[in-house]
Amino acid sequence: MQATTATPRTWPEGGITRVPAWIYSDEEIFRKELTTFFSGDTWSFVGLECEIPDVGSFKRAWMGDKQVIVVRDEDGINVVENRCAHRGGAICWKNSGEVKDLTCVYHQWNYSLKGELRGIPLKRGVHGAGGMPEDFDASKHNLRRLRVTVRGGAVWASFSNTVPEFADYCGPELLKRLDRLLSGRPLRMLGVSRQLIPSNWKLYFENTRDPYHGTLLHTFFITFGLYRADSKHITSPTESGKHSCNYAVPGDRSKGEDITNELTRFRGDLQLNDMETVRYFDEYGDGEMSAMQVFPSVFVQQHANILAMRSIVPKSTREVEVIWTYFGYADDDEHLQRIRLKQSNLLGPSGFVSMDDSELLKQMQNQVAGYPGSVGVVEMGGHGTETQVTMATEVGIRAFYDYYRREMSL
């Protein structure tokens, strides 16, 4: 392997205000991130309860490089590793569907919806020959079961037996913001989109913690009135930088519900044929727009009237899959459902706003991989990791690397 840098795996001077480029292309670092974070002492978002409404409904999810099956039985929701206890084959090959039990296609080993091994074909052999030994104990060969927490309609799973309970893992501030959107009010699935972004997962992570680029890169926001100039933008890294809450609260709420009128337009000559795509209303009654990063797996977003979970699945040093799960509330009327779907055109693989990020991150990956010895500067908003009330800050990125360096011993 070509030397990645003159001083391999040494963090540059300047601490968390500097980010070395080699962390975006180093294979060993990537393997360590998968075990430390995605299979480590963390909780990962694996789906919404409403995605698997009936007994036997399942979905496949990824926790880093590991696949899991999220499946409902009579007692609730189970999350099991998608890996046969026999030879390790993937049991579930589909992203969603209905099953009576879980059966590996290779040798038909069969498991209950809780992952208990129930059936082994030819266990007693054929005509007295072959088969499993008498002392084979099937109960020791179940699918690996993960810890599961269901909160407000979202399902979280962990490989770890030592990670704190989900609420403690999140901490009070993040939990409060999650509960605002996922309050227990029944949810309704609106759709899923997937995209493979040719960039390191951390570049995507940084992007979702970076309010600084918001109105600079995404001119659509300003052109079509989705940026409110009098809002206060808060970036609050929580739990020592592990998670992040980013939200905008209105500066003056006396102006009524339609808050798209008063905005400065980037280009007055551009029009949208369907303004319903950008016209939103304050459904929570607090005027806020909110986004939470629950490390390491998901970015939970309420933008205008869009509600979306962005699952982050690192595929390699230079590829990240982003799975967008759009949802609403079960009691939304038809009008609100339509509004949510229309506004969802802003996000996702070809979203009017999100496609800027995907394209940009692709460029960024080429740059950082081509100059592994180079160093990024993150000093906007100072040198610290404390909550800031401004868009002109990179505190979310600094706080993330503060946490990251501790966990990765870098």
Secondary structure letter of residue 136 according to DSSP: -
Amino acid identity, position 182: L
Minimum distance between the CB of residue 356 and Fe ion, rounded to whole angstroms? 6
Q: Which is nearer to Fe ion, 60 or 218 (CB)?
A: 218
Minimum distance between the CB of residue 140 and Fe ion, rounded to whole angstroms? 49
- Near Fe ion in 3-22, by CB under 5 A: none
Using alpha carbons only, what angle is made at residue 126 by residues 125 and 131, rounded to the nearest 5 degrees?
15
Q: Which is nearer to Fe ion, 346 or 399 (CB)?
A: 346
Minimum distance between the CB of residue 299 and Fe ion, rounded to whole angstroms? 11
Binding range to Fe ion, per CB under 5 A, among 153-161, 349-357, 382-390, 397-405: 349-357
Q: Which is nearer to Fe ion, 351 or 372 (CB)?
A: 351
3-state secondary structure of 1: coil
Q: Which is nearer to Fe ion, 51 or 357 (CB)?
A: 357
B/e letters for 251-269, b = 16+ CB within 10 Å, e = fewer, are: eeeeeeeebbeebeebeee
Q: Which is nearer to Fe ion, 5 or 215 (CB)?
A: 215
Minimum distance between the CB of residue 213 and Fe ion, rounded to whole angstroms? 6
Q: Are 114 and 192 in contact (CB under 8 A)?
A: no
- Near Fe ion in 108-147, by CB under 5 A: none
Amino acid identity, position 348: G
- Kindly report the number of other CB atoms within 10 A of residue 223's CB atom: 21
Binding range to Fe ion, per CB under 5 A, among 156-164, 311-319, 353-361, 401-409: 353-361
Annotate 29-98 with DSSP letters as a single string.
HHHHHIIIIITTS--EEEEEGGGS-STTEEEEEEETTEEEEEEEETTEEEEEESS-TTT---S--SSEEE
Binding range to Fe ion, per CB under 5 A, among 12-20, 71-79, 114-122, 350-358: 350-358
**Residue 357 sits in the site that holds Fe ion (CB under 5 A):** yes
Handedness of CA 120, 124, 126, 132 (dihedral sign): positive
Q: Which is nearer to Fe ion, 357 or 407 (CB)?
A: 357
Minimum distance between the CB of residue 342 and Fe ion, rounded to whole angstroms? 20
Minimum distance between the CB of residue 276 and Fe ion, rounded to whole angstroms? 23
**Residue 407 sits in the site that holds Fe ion (CB under 5 A):** no
Strand partners, 189: 327
Q: Which is nearer to Fe ion, 30 or 204 (CB)?
A: 204
Q: Are 387 and 401 in contact (CB under 8 A)?
A: no
**Residue 49 sits in the site that holds Fe ion (CB under 5 A):** no
3-state secondary structure of 388: strand
**Residue 332 sits in the site that holds Fe ion (CB under 5 A):** no
**Residue 394 sits in the site that holds Fe ion (CB under 5 A):** no
**What's the CA dihedral at 204, 296, 212, 277 to 10 degrees?**
70
Binding range to Fe ion, per CB under 5 A, among 24-32, 37-45, 167-175, 355-363: 355-363
Q: Which is nearer to Fe ion, 110 or 367 (CB)?
A: 367
Minimum distance between the CB of residue 52 and Fe ion, rounded to whole angstroms? 31
Contacts for 380-386 with beta carbons within 8 Å, 24 or more apart? 380/212, 383/15, 383/16, 383/17, 385/16, 385/237, 385/241
- Site residues, Fe ion (CB under 5 A): 357
